[in-house]
């Protein structure tokens, strides 16, 4: 698995490096979306009924600050994920800013999701050769039926992975250990699809390597 991680990580980092050299059309698209950011932030805050400039309080309850989630790097990721179509990227970014204002993923507390964490069904451990955090999922350790909280826990772990990324790193690797999984502890497909929608909609260009470990499945992606 180590060799796979290193090889695939290297490919992804080369792709990311190439993406930083923009063509004239890409630079124009980046400038166009960046110019819309203040309006997108205001619109998202109004939709969510929140203050776009609010900052975190001492107890961590208030943490909106939407400007943090619409910087140049974020705009770049949304454009790459939208095939450099400014209108599509701007619409997706606005939807994500609204989701962040309403769902508050960066304000999920450890206490809120602790019941989901006690069995070790998700954990971060180390980095690949290119500095990308390794997020491990162990479905056989599923211990609850609180599906909304399960999704919030997955988002909590993804946010933590993003915070752990060293400068210049944009992606995390996900390794899923399917050994000894059965129908009694498997997460419902509908829940998995809901989280995958969150991942693809609101964390574009954040997934590096995805590996499934199982002697029965014997697959990787």
Fold classified for 110-213: Phosphatidylinositol Transfer Protein Sec14p (3.40.525)
Domain ranges of the chain: 2-107, 110-213
Question: 184-218 pLDDT, tens per residue?
Answer: 778 889 999 999 999 999 999 999 999 999 876 54
Which pLDDT score is estimated for 47? Answer: 81
pLDDT at 68: 85
**Quick one: which of 7, 166, 159, 18 has its CA closest to 80?**
18
pLDDT at position 18, please? 44
C-alpha 158/C-alpha 133 separation (Å) is 10
Q: In the chain, which residues have pLDDT < 70? A: 1-19, 50-64, 216-221
Closest CA to 120 of 151, 155, 157, 146: 157
Which pLDDT value is given to residue 7?
39
pLDDT of residue 59: 44
CB atoms within 10 A of CB 148: 9
Would you tell me the crossing angle of helices 147-164 and 110-117 to the nearest 10 degrees? 110
pTM: 0.82
Do 116 and 195 touch, CB atoms closer than 8 A? no
Which stretches does DSSP call E strand in the chain?
A: 122-127, 133-137, 172-177, 207-213
Residue pair 145/94 in contact by the 8 Å Cβ criterion: no
Gap between the Cα atoms of 221 and 7, Å rounded: 13
Q: Are 213 and 177 in contact (CB under 8 A)?
A: yes
Number of other residues whose CB lies within 10 A of the CB of residue 13: 20
């Amino acid at each position: 698995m180590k060799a796979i991680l290193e090889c695939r990580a290297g490919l992804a980092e080369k792709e990311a490096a190439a993406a930083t050299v923009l063509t004239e059309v890409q630079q124009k698209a980046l400038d166009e979306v960046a110019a819309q950011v203040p309006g997108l932030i205001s619109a998202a805050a109004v939709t969510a009924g929140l203050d776009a400039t609010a900052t975190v309080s001492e107890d961590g309850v208030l943490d909106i600050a939407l400007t943090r989630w619409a910087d140049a790097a974020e705009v770049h990721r949304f454009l790459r994920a939208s095939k450099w179509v400014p209108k599509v990227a701007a619409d997706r970014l606005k939807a994500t800013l609204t989701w962040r204002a309403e769902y508050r993923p960066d304000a999920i507390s450890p206490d809120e999701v602790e019941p989901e964490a006690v069995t070790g069904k998700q954990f971060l451990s180390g980095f690949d050769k290119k500095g990308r955090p390794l997020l491990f999922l162990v479905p056989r350790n599923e211990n609850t039926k609180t599906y909304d909280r399960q999704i919030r826990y997955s988002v909590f772990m993804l946010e933590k992975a993003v915070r752990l990324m060293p400068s210049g790193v944009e992606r995390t690797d996900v390794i899923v250990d399917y050994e000894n999984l059965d129908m009694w502890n498997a997460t419902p497909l509908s829940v998995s699809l809901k989280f995958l929608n969150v991942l693809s909609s609101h964390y574009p260009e954040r997934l590096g390597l995805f590996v499934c470990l199982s002697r029965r499945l014997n697959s990787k992606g």
